[in-house]
Amino acid sequence: MRSFYSQIFGFHLRYIVIVSLVIGGCLLSASPTAKAFSVGDGYCHRRSTGLFRIKRSAILLGGGKRSAGVCTIQKMVVECGATSSVVDGDDNSHKQHENNEQTNSDTIRHKMIWGRLLEWFQGDFDNYAQVFEDRKNGLLPRDGGGHEHFHCTLIPVTESSRLAAFFFDGNPNRIFRFRYYELLPPTIKCDSTIAGEDYQHNNVTVEMRLKILNPDLENLLKSHATDPLSWPDMFKEFQQEPKVIPLSKCEITWSVDRDPIQHSYLSDIPDEDEKDNKSSLHAVMTHGVQVVNSTIVPGMQIRILDQLSLYQDVFYINDRGFDPITGAFIYGNQRGIPYRLERVSNILCDDDEGSSTTCITGGHQTLKLQVINPDLEWTLGPNYRTMEEYNCKLKVIGGPSTGISNKN
């Protein structure tokens, strides 16, 4: 009799335990913040962190033998084994958390690149010091292995666009290249944003589009070459369309990361440039080497390759052009050493309140040139030097760059 009651009691106990677990599962499922476990062939979801896979098992409540008369609950063992481990150990949730952290990090990097470009990619740069060292070492331009002396002026037109003029020998009336640069607002791209898939971190970059000017607009700006601060107003008031024409597949991609091959020239630059190399930006051609039509010689094609490195006060330009058939150099340094241009000035904006800042805020502002390197101020043009000083500076480097070569 005692054995009979024991069996009855045991049967009821097992029944009560099973029912309690099922009811408990339903209650958990109904809770808005708890993990909701389903009994059967599905998945258990948790609203706050995603999916939890349930592992099939044969947990027997009661005796150790499986039989047709014994109820079992399957898929109630989570792989990590404990409730606390379920929350912390979910792979998809962990990956999503890492993805969010990476996205936040990428956003910060984008803002940093964007901010530095707006702040640094303006003003005047000149490589006279590099040319002076070349001549001391017997290096003449082009086939002589040295560099031509040239100057780069970057004038803000809008917050994210620049008029860029390049001229020889500190003479604004000898502009050999005029460009319109347009920086595109950064966007975050990743290979996968689907929950549960691996996140592939892409390099954080900002793209810059290169455009040439309407010939009439270019001539207008060149006629005021010694007053570049007047260019933005002329550009905005110019009525002919199009004002600018894109250079197809000549886009530049800026990043804080160096390409180990294309920026290998940075392994041999002055120590003062590298004292804070984390504060530098580097660029490559987005679509790689391109063959383009010359904007100077009609009917001529050039294979171009360009890399850039921008520091707060130094600008490296590794721009080269080749004959696409023979491979002969057309322009650029034939030893593969980039042009090292030092900052001469900043272009600041005087706002309506009379304060001067870098021109990154938009709105109505008056441009102002601030010389930061007095030794190179003479390279800005005739308004910043005497004729005697200019002739002396050129004499030291053997005369105008385009007039000397190894052949002479």
Instruction: Tell me the C-alpha distance between 241 and 231, whole Å.
Output: 17
Same structural domain, 192 and 164 = yes
Same structural domain, 16 and 110 = no
Same structural domain, 170 and 62 = no
Long-range contacts of 169-174 (CB under 8 A, 24+ apart): 169/394, 169/400, 169/401, 169/402, 170/126, 170/128, 170/378, 170/379, 170/380, 170/381, 170/385, 170/390, 170/393, 171/381, 172/225, 172/226, 172/228, 172/380, 172/381, 173/222, 173/225, 173/226
The per-residue pLDDT string of the chain (408 residues; one tens digit each, 9 = 90 and over) reads 445 445 544 545 455 544 454 444 444 444 444 433 333 333 333 333 333 333 333 333 333 443 333 333 233 333 333 333 334 456 666 555 555 665 666 677 788 899 999 999 999 999 999 999 999 999 999 899 999 999 999 999 999 999 999 999 999 999 999 999 999 976 555 544 434 444 344 568 999 999 999 999 999 999 999 999 999 999 999 999 999 999 999 999 999 999 999 999 998 888 778 765 567 999 999 999 999 998 888 899 999 999 999 999 999 999 999 999 999 999 999 999 999 999 999 999 876 555 556 665 445 568 999 999 999 999 999 999 999 999 999 999 999 987 665 544
Same structural domain, 297 and 353 = yes
Which of 63, 89, 115 marks a domain boundary?
89
Same structural domain, 144 and 7 = no
Same structural domain, 248 and 177 = yes
Query: Does the residue 205 lie in any domain?
Result: yes
Q: CB–CB of 209/246 below 8 Å?
A: yes
Q: How many domains does the chain have?
A: 2
Q: What is the pLDDT of residues 41-59, one digit of tens each?
A: 333 333 333 333 333 333 3
Identify the pLDDT of residue 204: 83
Same structural domain, 286 and 392 = yes
What CA–CA distances, in Å, run from 181 to 141, 153, 199? Answer: 27, 12, 33
Q: Dig out the tokens for 185 from the structure.
A: 């607002």
Residue type for position 33: T
Instruction: Tell me the C-alpha distance between 180 and 250, whole Å.
Output: 12
Query: Does the residue 209 lie in any domain?
Result: yes
Which of 89, 122, 147 marks a domain boundary?
89
Query: Does the residue 96 lie in any domain?
Result: no
Query: Does the residue 97 lie in any domain?
Result: no
Same structural domain, 151 and 211 = yes
Q: Report the predicted TM-score, pTM, of the whole model to 2 decimal places.
A: 0.71
> Which domain range does residue 387 map to?
102-403
Percent of the chain's residues with pLDDT above 70: 63
Which of 89, 110, 142 marks a domain boundary?
89
